[in-house]
Structure 1
Amino acid sequence: MKTKILLAALATALTATAHAQVKVEDAIKWRQSAYATMGWSMARIDSNLKGTYNKEEVLKAATVLQAIANSGMGSLYLPGSDKGKGWVDTRVKPAFFTEGAKVGKIAGEFNQAANDLAKAAATGDAAAVKTAFGAVGGTCKSCHDDYRAK
């Protein structure tokens, strides 16, 4: 038991140290990569809803969205990362960093919607997936509308 506690404390310390050493450019790259992956997953679900529905493909894509939504991506919004370049210039608006309560609300809604989508996908019910997919898209849109430069 003491070994587990010691290992947990060590892992926490290493994670905190690693987080403190993240370069702004790397944080921007990682979040851009995550958003690109989410876009691909959304496109996969959308194509299944518009064409032949494949439960397994939808479940894979929904699980990716859920994992990213619950990954703690907020930690990639380091001070100063409203400017700069990852793979491309960042498009996050400075307001993202000053409107914490509103950003947190949108992020929480996105997490919940992604979790609901994964649950719906697991059932194989295309109608439930379509509804849940719309909710995820709505949370994406609300953040893009307020915090993503065109």
Structure 2
Amino acid sequence: MNKAIISFVISALLGFGLGYLVFDVILGNSDSQPQVAQTETKDTSATKTESKDTAAKTTSANEDNILNKRGCLGCHSVDALNLKGGAVGPDLSQAFVNVEGKHGKSIEEFLKAPTSAVMSGVIGKNPLTDDERKQVLELLKQSSEAK
């Protein structure tokens, strides 16, 4: 009886291990591929003010924005800019104004040296350059003003 249980446990562990190896490592994890942000289309019947707002949202949501380039949209979204991303991390629409209250430092300082365990691991492995940090701050400021 004990041999049967031990054989079953070993077989199950080998099966799960091989499944992980084949489906996650070899075939690739689809979640780790870059996220492409969706853009908001411009309504032709809108007023000039609404058109400017829509154009700003479309411009910020293009594939070349810094949040997409750096993979931020893999975990986060920015609903205020219509940037659809992952749901694992919080929405960053109000991060520009809320980070200091949550983490005890300004957003710029947080992006240099995050205090949260997850973000310190993410940014610590691949820190933002000064130019990238400036671009992120501009987008986050724009998103905080949009809502």
TM-score by structure 2 length?
A: 0.27
Which gives a bigger RCO, structure 1 or 2 (Cα 8 Å, sep 6+)?
A: 1
Higher radius of gyration, 1 or 2:
2
TM-score by structure 1 length?
A: 0.26
